[in-house]
Amino acid sequence: MARVLSCIQPTGGVHLGNLLGALQPWVDVQSADSFHGIVDLHALTVPQDPAELREATLELVRILLAIGLDPDFCTLFVQSHVSEHAELAWLMQCTAGYGELGRMTQFKDKSAKSESFSAALFTYPALMAADILLYDADQVPVGEDQRQHLELTRDLAIRFNSRYGEDTFVVPEPVIGTVAARVMDLQNPTNKMSKSADGDNGLIFVLDDLKRVEKKLKRAVTDNEATVRFAPDTQPGVANLLSILSVATGEGPDKLAERYDQYGQLKVDTAEAVVAMLEPIQTRYRELEADPGYVRDVLDAGAEKARAVASVTLARAKENIGLLPRA
């Protein structure tokens, strides 16, 4: 069985795009040999409010548990609980070239947008490589935007292995955006649903009041064509509603389109399906919120399971690179 590793940053305000595009797929691929990390160290590459970061981390953990990630089965952990990540990241920084890191398009984009940024924004891909290599991961599901970081991880693993020992790291395969839904903004359906949108009328947050969810969907922007077809290029708003309805009901979007001739009914049904999907998640979320001890225990156990694997890989890498083992 392939070992899968998936990670997400705790940025707070988890929306329908995050849920359907990133988190639900974790639940679908989970196994006794899958590792799922909330990478809080990555979030620190840009300034964070400490209380908000802590809450965003817990929010993600609760949402993942609420949607069915089973911590007795797979391994769910917080990156900063497993100090091996930061330690292997150093070895990865020593393996990566300055020029190589400078070619990362995410770094180029983000650094161009701000006047000052942390050194960690630059070295971030070395930490990401460490996240992956620590677990001997075979497969790493990521979005298209992370492809270059995955390629770099492979290059670093191959380079380290050829310098210091072929047995050090498993060279991972990216699993890029397979069938994960791409959810668009309800007000600007040619843009991805994203926290960076102006205003939140186009976004549905997993924890939104359900009345608001209904309102936002009923006010979704469509078009003047007055025909329901699944045509993302020419009718992006309608296609977005159909894809959301499709994920919520399990029926294909083209098939669903045949059933409607009015936008109004499509919106009503999509709203109803999304509310029905979110309601049990929110209920379970509130229960978990009321039981912080349980969530702590899950994370403690997850950190132990993660560390059991990560510490072996780190020890191997340290020994192979020539660091003196403790007596």
Which of the residues are catalytic?
A: 110, 192, 195
Coil, strand or helix: which one is 256?
A: helix
Query: In angstroms, what is the minimal distance from the CB of 127 to ligand TRP?
Result: 7
Chain centroid to CA 53: 16
Chain centroid to CA 14: 10
Strand order in the sheet with 173-176: 75-78, 34-38, 4-8, 139-142, 173-176
- 147 touches ligand AMP (CB under 6 A): no
- 22 touches ligand AMP (CB under 6 A): yes
Query: In angstroms, what is the minimal distance from the CB of 179 to ligand AMP?
Result: 11
Query: In angstroms, what is the minimal distance from the CB of 24 to ligand TRP?
Result: 16
User: Which among ligand TRP, ligand AMP, none contacts residue 193 (Cβ within 5 to 8 A by kind)?
Assistant: ligand AMP
User: Residue 105: in which H helix or E strand, if any?
Assistant: helix 105-113
Coil, strand or helix: which one is 96?
A: coil
- 11 touches ligand AMP (CB under 6 A): yes
Dihedral of the alpha carbons of 79, 84, 87, 88, in degrees to the nearest 10:
-90
User: Which among ligand AMP, ligand TRP, none contacts residue 277 (Cβ within 5 to 8 A by kind)?
Assistant: none
> What distance in Å separates the CA atoms of residue 257 and residue 261, rounded to the nearest whole number?
8
Query: In angstroms, what is the minimal distance from the CB of 184 to ligand TRP?
Result: 19
Q: Which span (118-126, 150-158, 187-195, 259-267) binds ligand AMP, by CB under 6 A?
A: 187-195
Residues that bind ligand AMP (CB under 6 A): 8-9, 11, 17-18, 21-22, 143, 181-183, 192-195
